Structure 1
Amino acid sequence: MSQVKTASGTTQDGSASALFVTLTAPSIGSIHVRREKNGKIQPCHARRDAETCPHGRTMSCTDRHGTEDLRLGEPLCPDCYDYDGSVLLNAINPELWRRFTLALRRRFARLNGLTVKTLSEQVTIAFAKVAEYQRRGVVHFHAVIRLHGPDGPDPPPPDTVRLQALRPSAITKFYRDLLTSGGRKRGPLAPNTVKHVHTVLRKTPDGRRTRGRTTSQ
């Protein structure tokens, strides 16, 4: 995974208690996209000095695509696009996710001056993820990552990593931001994905005090 986007909840002392992350595969070829900036639709791939690919196609598109444009996700040059790489990325995504979780635990332990074994005796790093197809047909992951106690949500982790409930207003804003700019390239996130995040947060120990609701509007 080459890109990671995060949104976080915070404890009273400012340390992160939860993360919502998006893990995205690297580029395997230029595709038609819908771009927005300050509420205005931008050209797809406007390039002054656009190159011509080996197949004679100019690697540029000045169209401002609508949300239902069938070209979205299609390559600028089908002959240049790495379809084999797309298939392989989807095939190995489960292993990529497994290695990400292992690397995260090791990194977290190292940052706290602990071994992975010692960390596991104090804290459980809990994950809830959703795999979602992008328009280009490649899977990426949305995940909620939280810290629990060594035996699950109860008891909580030590005070130094104790999870703190977010205020309902902050949760509501979090959902709203996800719906409007939580997706790839700050585009909207699918309402069903946001509803899943809401379900996950309600099941956490702090979530029972959160009353924010999601909406598909």
Structure 2
Amino acid sequence: MTEDVQEESIDEENSSEDKLGGLDNSLFLDKAFTDLKQKLGSGPKQLMDLWNREEKVVNVRDYLVPQSLAPILESLLEKYGDVGAETNLSSRVKMYLIVISCGTIDSVCCTRILDITEDKLLNWRQYLRALEYAGFKIQFVHDRWRGVTKAYFGLRLRKLEDYTLQELETDITKYDAEVKEMTSKLERIKDKHKRIASEKSGKRSSLIKDCLRMAAKLKWKKAGAGLIKLG
């Protein structure tokens, strides 16, 4: 690794109290952050291969590693020393875990932040936890994992924020048009109501007056009342 990144822990090893910059957890991005963080609570769907098993093996000091990982191990030993020196594991197991550590570091170094996936983050963490459990001194790699995980979260949150805003703007345009249409319809209905109410209290033609008078007079009578004499 070219530099150490000291970051606060992001995964579930943190204390239960989240410190999100003192912001209210009800804020949109805070909730989205929590949702993303919870997804990292599980392991990867499948562990990825860190090197080609058919690859030629070369000797780097006391270790045998795949040829493609030799530069990683040389750089690791030069900057941090033997990260597995304090383990009590057999030389064979230690050799295998050194290859795991080099493969993990190589994968991290070769992956752009933009290309990081949730599954890659989970794979890296799974390998790092196994190495730490075995006694390997790789805190500097875990620190970098936390840093790139924050960057991954940032990209995902920004994308989610932009997408959500775009969706809301589309809805605003849609419902604004519907509101305008309903407002126009409401105004037409109000005008019609006002006109009819005005006519009801105003002057009427003689024909309309006669119709209304007959309705009031005959509405409770039978239609044929007085037409013929019954019994």
TM-score, normalising length: structure 2: 0.22
RCO greater where, 1 or 2, for CA within 8 Å and sep 6 or more? 2
Q: Which has the larger radius of gyration?
A: 2
Q: Which has the higher strand share?
A: 1
Q: Which has the higher helix share?
A: 2
